[in-house]
Structure 1
């Protein structure tokens, strides 16, 4: 794992002749618009090949939030990846530690991670599951004290990010970070897309039915997030059959038979 400060990074001569000004002007034109993500990834692919990107908050002490994503091919796996990350993997993710340390000294940072750098549960639930090769990230401090990571990914069918790719992305990293932060502020007021606070909902469910075990609550949380049984199994490191067993036990304790009834309980728990 590597992290470096953009304030101390050398200029990237390799990308000087590329259409950087045109790229950023196009991205700036789309700030606050629904097609900002598509504009950003299309522009970046004039400099360096990126299969998809996502922007999320970094904080091991709070439930992370994803603000933005887009894919070069139109097939965006970011949401599925982030569900696993948000559920439990973020607390064990140390690939941003170096970047966050640089950030604490007032610098903007970049960091690189290959799939082999992640602990097995993280690698299997996200990188192996979706065939992701590696990640280049721009890490910055945003408004309201948020630390945002703008993450660029390549699938395994592509070569790993090399030094020329790093130079190309580094040449626009500060501008990209500024545009991403401004877009989020304009489009969402630094609020994530609407979604359940699954941590709070799980705690409410545990209070409602104290007999539920930790694993049964994990499975219920996955179901409430719309995960498939395969997805929940990959997330928790269990077999599909075991997931269904936990589901059956949880349903029995809650006195229900169907997922729709679980959603009904959840909707009542979140009512003011």
Structure 2
């Protein structure tokens, strides 16, 4: 997956990630998506249920000692993470939490040595989301070979953080129903399905948006004019009561990740 160009809505890159929920390929799709959005080097995901324990759910990317870092954090270093205070302070709100910008001085010396010096992490961004009594804590890292996030890259991470956190939380939730991406989309757009209010062409356009197509690519794939793509998208959004691509992803995420298989 190539990096998205300047000016492209970063939320469009997460389509494949929605479709990968419950699939063995999810960690690979996750890091490829994050690289396309902001050239993220590594992603680690942790779960909190209380302030006494943490669990590493996922580690994917270019840090060779990622699994060791996950174990060390879960067993001890989570107590020294300054983000934990913010995470538990926001627990009652049950909403997405965008955590403070990274600053190495925020962390104690032992933490800095293991997580930043030994692993060559030079920058990070982080987000968290509470769902019931469990928090999913998602960390995005850049290594020395990459350098820190640029201002534009950090803006892109900020833009996709809420939807990425929700997707990762649902994937990591125990008992996630496994269905192929094609099955998931087919269920959404089938006759009598949740999006059956749309016309056939409106479904064609929305389905391709969820698959990560640009407007130009949709026009080429369907053999229609670009202005027609905009018209069908506008009509579909009006019928669904939404105004943005991000809201379409949110609808798809909610419908695709119910606890029962999509039949």
> How big is the shift at 1:98?
2.9
Q: CA RMSD in A?
A: 2.5
Secondary structure at 1:164 match in 2: helix
Q: Distance in 1 between matches of 2:131 and 2:92?
A: 13
The question of whether the paired residues in 2 share the 8 Å contact of 1:31 and 1:183 is answered with yes
Of 16, 21, 24 in structure 2, the residue corresponding to residue 26 of structure 1 is 16
Q: Distance in 1 between matches of 2:30 and 2:72?
A: 25
The question of whether the paired residues in 2 share the 8 Å contact of 1:108 and 1:140 is answered with yes
Other-structure match for 2:185 = none
1:168 has 2:156 as partner: yes
Of 103, 106, 109 in structure 2, the residue corresponding to residue 114 of structure 1 is 103
Other-structure match for 2:139 = 151
Q: Distance in 1 between matches of 2:70 and 2:151?
A: 27
1:55 has 2:63 as partner: no
Other-structure match for 1:94 = 82
The question of whether the paired residues in 2 share the 8 Å contact of 1:102 and 1:108 is answered with no
1:17 has 2:37 as partner: no
The question of whether the paired residues in 2 share the 8 Å contact of 1:15 and 1:47 is answered with no
1:178 has 2:169 as partner: no
Secondary structure at 2:155 match in 1: helix
Using structure 2 for the length normalisation, give the TM-score.
0.58
Q: Distance in 2 between matches of 1:115 and 1:130?
A: 14
The question of whether the paired residues in 1 share the 8 Å contact of 2:43 and 2:60 is answered with yes
Unpaired runs of 5+ in structure 2? 178-263
1:134 has 2:123 as partner: yes
Other-structure match for 1:82 = 70
- Distance change (3 Å), C-alpha of 1:102 and 1:87: closer
Using structure 1 for the length normalisation, give the TM-score.
0.56
Runs of 4+ residues deviating >6 angstroms: none
Of the structure 1 ranges 133-142 and 86-95, higher mean CA displacement relative to structure 2 is found in 86-95
